[in-house]
Structure formats: structure tokens, C-alpha cells
């Protein structure tokens, strides 16, 4: 798993590449949690376009990050779900729990817009 973190406007962007599974979940959780301090309230986009596999460990980290962000008054948007990941979110009904956008650019534009 490769994790690229950055700021774009008021948003923290986490771009994930590879398998989001038991072997990478703790690193993703720790690195993204630290990056949330960069913006207040935290505005987080997790770009999963290059994630091939996401297992229950990855889902658990996403739920944890969602709770951390919303508890601080922020928003988390997922972007770029495809293939098996998109199917996994549908069968677990997490597609109803998370705000999901088709691309990271759309998610960043939405969070960067001061008008809700």
C-alpha cells in the first residue's frame, strides 16, 4: 500500500494505492489521523481510485476516520471507488453511510466550496 498525503485548499487529500487490508490498515489509520490536524475543522478526501482490494480491516479504518472527522465537526468524502471496492461498499451498505463521489476532484471541489 502506498499512501500519498497532501493539502489542496482546505482539504487533506489521502491517495491510496494498492491493497487496503490487514497489512496496511494500521499505517493508513495512523498517517491519516496525524494529517487531520492540518485543517480545522478537518476536511478529508480519501481517493481510493487505485485501491484494488479493500477488506474488513480497511473498512474498519474508514469507519474510524469518519467518526474522528465528524466528531471534530468536519467532513470525510470517499472518491473513486471502483470494481470490487464499489461492490463491497454496496453489499455492506456502507455506500449509504459514507459520502462517496466519483472522483477526488469532485470531492475536493465540494469540500472547498464555502457554501453548503
Q: In what order do the strands lie in the sheet with 99-101?
A: 2-8, 11-20, 43-54, 75-79, 99-101
Average pLDDT of the residues in 73-77: 97
pLDDT at 116: 44
Give the C-alpha separation, 8 to 26, whole Å. Answer: 24
**For 32-47, how does the pLDDT look when each residue is reduced to its tens digit (9 = 90+)?**
999 998 999 999 999 9
Strands (E) located in 1-116: 2-8, 11-20, 43-54, 75-79, 99-101
Average pLDDT of the residues in 65-94: 95
Average pLDDT of the residues in 104-108: 96
Give the C-alpha separation, 116 to 112, whole Å. Answer: 10
Average pLDDT of the residues in 53-79: 97
Average pLDDT of the residues in 82-104: 95
Amino acid at each position: 500500500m502506498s499512501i500519498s498525503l497532501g493539502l489542496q485548499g482546505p482539504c487533506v487529500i489521502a491517495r491510496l494505492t494498492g491493497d487496503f487490508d490487514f497489512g496496511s490498515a494500521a499505517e493508513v489509520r495512523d498517517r491519516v489521523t496525524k494529517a487531520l490536524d492540518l485543517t480545522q475543522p478537518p476536511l478529508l478526501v480519501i481517493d481510493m481510485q487505485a485501491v484494488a482490494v479493500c477488506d474488513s480491516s480497511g473498512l474498519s479504518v474508514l469507519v474510524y476516520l469518519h467518526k474522528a472527522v465528524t466528531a471534530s465537526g468536519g467532513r470525510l468524502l470517499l472518491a473513486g471507488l471502483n470494481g470490487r471496492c464499489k461492490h463491497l461498499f454496496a453489499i455492506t451498505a456502507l455506500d449509504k453511510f459514507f459520502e462517496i463521489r466519483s472522483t477526488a476532484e469532485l470531492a475536493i471541489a465540494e469540500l472547498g466550496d464555502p457554501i453548503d
